[in-house]
Amino acid sequence: MNHSHDKYYTPDEEYQIARAVWANDGDAKHAAHHLAAALVSDPHHPDRLRLLDDIIAGTRDPLAMAPLSEEGNYLGTVAVRAYVLAKTGRVPEAVALIGQVHHARPDVPFLDWAVDWLTREPAAAALIQPSALFGFFGPLISKYPGNVIEVPAARAELEAALRFHEAAVRDPHPDPMLSYLKIALLRKLGRLDDAERLARACYDREPNYFFSTALAMICQSRENYAEWLHWQNKALEHDPADTAVRRDLGDWHLERGQVTEAARYYQDAFNLESTDEWSEASLLFAKHRLEPDGPWLARLQAFAVAHPESDRARSLLGVNQPYVTSLPTPVEAMVNVLPKLLADIRKDPSKLPDGELRFTVSSMEAPSARMSVQLQLQALGSDATISVEYETVQKPDPRVPRVEVTHQVWRYLEKAPDNTKRSAKRLTTDPLPAVPEPPPGIAAAVARLAGLVYERPSWYTSTGTAVAKFHAPTPEQFLGVMAHPPEMPTDWYAPDWVLRCQVAAAMMIAHLPDGRAVLLDLLQGPYDWTITAAAIALTAAAERDPTVTDDALPLFLELLQNQPQPGFVCYQHPLACLIQQLPGVSEDVRKYFAEFQAKLERDDREEEQSE
C-alpha cells in the first residue's frame, strides 16, 4: 500500500498500511510504527491486536520492532514495546513500561493491558519492583487532592488505577505503603466502607502513622470529626515530630473559631520545622485574632511580602476584605432595632415582645430583613408577630423582578381595590416565599456550612463537595433554603445566620448545571439579601471560571446604576466590593469602586458617630 510519512492518516488507514507492509514486505519495524498509531486510538481493537500478535510471532527479534531512544519516544511505540515484553514472558518489565504510557496519556486505556497480563499470569505480580509501583501510584493519587473525587474523568482514571492495583499488588503486600495507596484510591472513589475495612485491618496488623492518617481522612470524608480527631491524635502518638497533622489540627480549630487551640498547634508545628511557611503564616494570623492590637498583622503582611509564593499568607490577609473572608452583618431599619432589643431583654426578660410588633419604615426593605427579625424573636421564645407599614414604594418597584425570570425566592401578596370586583390586582407590601421548603438533607447541608468560619474560596469548594452528594438536586431545593432557613443554632444573631445560609445555598446552586442562569435570575429581583448572596456566589464561581465575569459584571453595574430609590439599598456595599474582586475587571473600574466602597464606609462611620 503506497503511503507517505508526511501525511496524516486515520487510525483505520494506519492499520491498513501496517497490514500491507507486513504482508508485502515483512518489515516488522515499519509495520509496527503504523500499527502503534492505530492502537493509540483504540488499544482494545481486536483486528489490530491480532495483527500485532502475528507480527510478534513472525519476527526473530520482536523487541527490535519497537526500539526506544534516549532522545524521546512516540507513545504508541512505547506501548507496543510493553506489549512485546509481556508476550515474550517479561510481564514485570512490561507493566513498568505501560505505567509510563498511562501517565503520558491517561485518557487512552492502555492500563487495561497490564491488568489483562497480570490476570493471565498472577505470579508475575510478585516480581514487579515496588519502586515501579510507587512511581505509578504516587503521582496519580497526588494529581487528585481531596478526600472524595466527583469529577467523572478523574474517577475514571482512579477506577482504572484501582483495577491495576488489585491485579498488581497481593494483599497483604510486604510493603505496607502499597496498601496505604489502595486505601487512598478507595477513599477518593467514595468507597469509604471498603477503605475503612482495609485501613483498620492494616492498622491492626501494623499500627503506624500512615494508617492512622488514612483512617483520619476516611472519618473526615464522613464528616465524623470526633473520630477524625481521635485518629489525628493517634498519628501524633506514632510520629511525635510530625508537622502535617499539627497543621491540619490547627486549620480545623481555626475554621471553628477555636483560635487558642489553633495557635498552639501552629506553634508546635513551627517549633518542629522552622521552614514550615504554612504554619508560620497561620500562627501570625491566629496571634492577630487573639491580640488585635498587637504587632501580628504587620508581621503577617511583611511575611507575605517576603514570601510572594505563599498562597496561605495571601488568603489569611484577605480577612480584611469584605465578602472574601468576612460576611458583614446586614443592616436595615428593621434589623437595626435588634441589638438594643436583645440588650434590653438580657437586662429585663419581661421586655420580651408579645402580641404584635409594629414597624413604620420610610421605604420598602428586604423580605429577609423581616424574616430575620421574626427568626430572632422565635429564638428568644417570643410568639410575637410582625406588621410593617411602608411610607414609600421605591422605583423601580422592589417587589417585582426587573425582567422576566424563571427563578425567584420571594413574591408579594395581591389584592383587588375595594371599589370593584373586577379591576386589575395590585401588589401589597407583604412578602411570601415563592419556593417550597427545602428537603431536610439539603437544609442540613447548608446549616453545616453556614456554621463554619466564612472564607469564600473554601466555602465554594465545600459547597461543590456537598452538592455532589445529592442525587439530581434542583435549583428550587436550594432556593427553598433562602426563604426557609434551617433552624438557627443557639446564640446566633439571626441576620448573620440568614445571610450565611443564603450565601451557602447560592454557592451550591453555582455548582448545578444551570446554576449560573439561576443566580443571574436572582440578581434581577425581587429586591432582597438574596441579590447579595447570588453576587457572592457568582464572584466565587468567576474565580474558578473567569468567563462568569462576562455575565455577572454587566448586571452588577446595572443594579448599582439603577437602584431602587429613595432609601437604603442593601446590595450597594456588597456589589461595590465584589466588582473589585471579579477577575478580568479593568484597573480603572477597580479603582473607581475602591473609592466608592471607601466613601460608603466613611459615610457609615460618620453616621454612627453622629447618633
Q: Is 374 in the same domain as 508?
A: yes
pLDDT at 421: 46
407 is a domain residue: yes
Q: How far apart are CA 580 and CA 542, in angstroms?
A: 12
pLDDT band at 418 (very low <50, low <70, confident <90, very high): low
Query: For the whole model, what pTM was predicted?
Result: 0.55
Q: What are the backbone dihedrals phi and psi of residue 526, each rounded to the nearest 5 degrees, phi first?
A: -60, 160
Does position 319 have pLDDT exceeding 80, yes or no? no
Q: Is 180 in the same domain as 257?
A: no
Q: How far apart are CA 336 and CA 316, in angstroms?
A: 30
Q: How far apart are CA 139 and CA 18, in angstroms?
A: 35
pLDDT at 514: 93
Burial class for 561, CB neighbours closer than 10 Å (0-12, 13-18, 19+): exposed
Q: Is 266 in the same domain as 404?
A: no
Contact 176, 206 (CB under 8 A): yes
pLDDT band at 417 (very low <50, low <70, confident <90, very high): low
Collapsed DSSP state (helix, strand, coil) of residue 46? helix
Q: How far apart are CA 273 and CA 251, in angstroms?
A: 17
Region of 26 please: left (phi>0), alpha (psi -120 to 50) or beta.
left
3 is a domain residue: no
41 is a domain residue: yes
pLDDT at 336: 85
- Cα 272 from chain centroid? 31
In one-letter notation, the amino acid at residue 251 is D
Q: How far apart are CA 94 and CA 78, in angstroms?
A: 10
Q: How far apart are CA 399 and CA 528, in angstroms?
A: 9
Q: In whole angstroms, how far apart are CA 475 and each of 184, 368, 501, 523, 526? A: 33, 19, 15, 15, 17
Q: Is 512 in the same domain as 371?
A: yes
What is the domain-level CATH number for residue 261?
1.25.40
Contact 279, 273 (CB under 8 A): yes
- Domain end point (choices 273, 289, 320): 320
Q: How far apart are CA 201 and CA 109, in angstroms?
A: 32
Reply yes or no: is the peptide bond before residue 526 cis, omega within 30 of 0: yes
Does position 309 have pLDDT exceeding 60, yes or no? yes
Q: How far apart are CA 173 and CA 476, in angstroms?
A: 50
454-494: pLDDT as tens digits: 878 889 988 998 998 898 899 999 999 999 999 998 878 89
Q: Is 475 in the same domain as 580?
A: yes
586 is a domain residue: yes
Q: What is the mean pLDDT of the chain?
A: 89
136 is a domain residue: yes
Does position 3 have pLDDT exceeding 70, yes or no? no
Does position 419 have pLDDT exceeding 80, yes or no? no
Does position 407 have pLDDT exceeding 90, yes or no? yes
88-128: pLDDT as tens digits: 999 999 999 999 999 999 989 999 999 999 999 999 999 99
Q: Is 461 in the same domain as 367?
A: yes
Q: How far apart are CA 175 and CA 187, in angstroms?
A: 20
Does position 588 have pLDDT exceeding 90, yes or no? no
Q: How far apart are CA 143 and CA 156, in angstroms?
A: 13
Q: Is 455 in the same domain as 595?
A: yes
Reply yes or no: is the peptide bond before residue 172 cis, omega within 30 of 0: yes
pLDDT at 295: 87
pLDDT at 424: 42
214 is a domain residue: yes
Q: Which domain holds residue 247?
A: 241-320
210-260: pLDDT as tens digits: 999 999 999 999 989 899 999 999 999 999 999 999 999 999 888 777 889
Does position 531 have pLDDT exceeding 70, yes or no? yes
565 - beta bridge partners?
A: 395
Tally of CB atoms within 10 A around 226: 7
Q: For 476-525, what is the HEC assignment?
A: HHHHHHHHCCCCCCCCCCHHHHHHHHHHHHHHHHHCCCCHHHHHHHHHCC
Kindly calculate the radius of gyration of the chain based on its CA atoms and give it in whole angstroms.
Answer: 31
- Rounded to an integer, the average pLDDT of 338-364 is 83
DSSP state for residue 286 in the 8-state scheme: H
pLDDT band at 64 (very low <50, low <70, confident <90, very high): very high
pLDDT at 342: 82
Q: Is 248 in the same domain as 214?
A: no
Q: What's the structural domain count of the chain?
A: 3
Q: What are the backbone dihedrals phi and psi of residue 519, each rounded to the nearest 5 degrees, phi first?
A: -65, -35
Q: Is 570 in the same domain as 519?
A: yes
The residue assigned the cell 439603577 is 562
Q: Is 553 in the same domain as 421?
A: yes
pLDDT band at 610 (very low <50, low <70, confident <90, very high): low
Burial class for 283, CB neighbours closer than 10 Å (0-12, 13-18, 19+): buried
Question: Which residue, among 211, 201, 105, has the nearest Cα to 160 in the 3D structure?
Answer: 105
Contact 341, 368 (CB under 8 A): no
Alpha helix (H) residue ranges in 58-174? 75-87, 91-104, 111-120, 130-142, 152-168
- Domain end point (choices 258, 289, 320): 320
Q: How far apart are CA 148 and CA 144, in angstroms?
A: 9
Q: How far apart are CA 503 and CA 573, in angstroms?
A: 16
Does position 2 have pLDDT exceeding 70, yes or no? no
Contact 150, 468 (CB under 8 A): yes
Higher pLDDT pick, 350 / 133? 133
Does position 69 have pLDDT exceeding 60, yes or no? yes
Does position 76 have pLDDT exceeding 80, yes or no? yes
pLDDT at 86: 95
257-291: pLDDT as tens digits: 788 999 999 999 999 999 999 999 999 999 988 88
Q: What are the backbone dihedrals phi and psi of residue 411, each rounded to the nearest 5 degrees, phi first?
A: -140, 170
Q: How far apart are CA 594 and CA 597, in angstroms?
A: 5
Q: Is 309 in the same domain as 352?
A: no
pLDDT band at 4 (very low <50, low <70, confident <90, very high): low
- Domain end point (choices 293, 320, 347): 320
Q: What percent of the chain has pLDDT over 90?
A: 62
- Where in 384-439 does DSSP place strands (E)? 385-392, 410-415, 426-433
Tally of CB atoms within 10 A around 135: 15
Q: How far apart are CA 529 and CA 506, in angstroms?
A: 11
Q: Is 347 in the same domain as 438?
A: yes
Tally of CB atoms within 10 A around 157: 19
Length of the chain counted residue by residue: 611
228 is a domain residue: no
pLDDT at 425: 52
Q: What percent of the chain has pLDDT over 70?
A: 96
224 is a domain residue: no
Residues 6+ apart with CB under 8 A from 539: 323, 456, 552, 578, 581, 582
